[in-house]
């Protein structure tokens, strides 16, 4: 899945042509989440980047919110996860690298995006940011202009059907899911419980 995108990023990293921020744009939120974590793993040279102290993930679903808020970006009164706090510590990585994923950036309100601009303008040395989105219309132009846009191709119908079957979804149920969700990518993006 998205092997070409991963390979391109690996080459950019090896050649020192990487960007400081990437905006991964695609139709399936779950595929984008997986790709962002794999790219973070390439950057950190870790098979399981989520286990690294230099990996920071802000994901609305894991935080129980509809979209990331200002308090997730800049330090506020509450003590929840905060990008600004995470970036204060020096990376433990031998090369001084850190990877940050801001999932579902297209659900962030404008205030949160505004707060993110400072970090995007001057990210700490060695820190790469990966934003994911299924659309660009709600993302501020200033955010878009500071990220390297990576359009993640959709998977073919046959590949999606094979993946659904491997997950135990019967062919008839797969047809119903696709119809209800408006396509295979959206259906595959549902959580197991929702399916």
- Res 100 pLDDT > 90: yes
Helix (H, G, I), strand (E, B) or coil at 57: strand
Please state the rounded mean pLDDT for residues 57-73: 92
Angle between the 157-166 and 171-181 helix axes, to the nearest 10 degrees?
A: 120
**Structure pTM?**
0.84
Which residues are CB-contacts of 94 (< 8 A; sequence separation ≥ 6)? Answer: none
State the DSSP H helix or E strand holding residue 150, giving kind and residue range, or none if neither.
Answer: strand 148-151
Task: Note the pLDDT tens digit of each residue in 6-51.
Answer: 999 999 999 999 999 999 999 888 889 999 999 999 999 999 999 9
Look at residues 96, 160, 155 and name the one whose alpha carbon lies nearest to residue 123. Answer: 96
Q: What are phi and psi of 102, to 5 degrees?
A: -110, 95
Q: What are phi and psi of 22, to 5 degrees?
A: -120, 140
- Res 190 pLDDT > 90: no
Beta bridge partners of 132: 24
Record the tokens describing residue 84, joined without a space.
């600004």
Rounded-to-integer distance, Cα 144 and Cα 128, Å = 15
Beta bridge partners of 100: 56, 129
Record the tokens describing residue 176, joined without a space.
């119903």
Q: Which is more confident, 2 or 133?
A: 133
Task: Note the pLDDT tens digit of each residue in 107-156.
Answer: 999 999 999 999 999 999 999 999 999 999 999 999 999 999 999 987 77
């Amino acid at each position: 899945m998205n092997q070409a995108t991963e390979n391109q990023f690996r080459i950019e990293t090896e050649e020192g042509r990487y960007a400081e921020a990437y905006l991964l744009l695609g139709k399936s939120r779950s595929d984008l989440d997986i790709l962002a974590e794999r790219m973070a793993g390439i950057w950190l040279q870790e098979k399981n980047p989520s286990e690294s102290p230099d990996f920071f993930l802000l994901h609305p679903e894991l935080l129980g919110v509809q979209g990331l808020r200002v308090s997730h970006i800049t330090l506020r009164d509450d003590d929840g996860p905060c990008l600004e706090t995470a970036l204060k510590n020096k990376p433990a990585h031998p090369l001084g690298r850190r990877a940050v994923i801001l999932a579902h950036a297209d659900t962030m309100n404008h205030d949160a995006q505004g707060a993110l601009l400072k970090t995007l303008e001057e990210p700490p040395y060695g820190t790469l940011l990966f934003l994911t989105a299924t659309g660009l219309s709600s993302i501020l132009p200033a955010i878009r202009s500071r990220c390297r846009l990576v359009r993640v191709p959709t998977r073919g119908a046959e590949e999606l059907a094979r993946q659904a079957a491997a997950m135990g979804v019967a062919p008839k149920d797969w047809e119903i899911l696709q119809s209800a969700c408006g396509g295979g990518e959206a259906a595959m993006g549902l959580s197991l419980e929702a399916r």
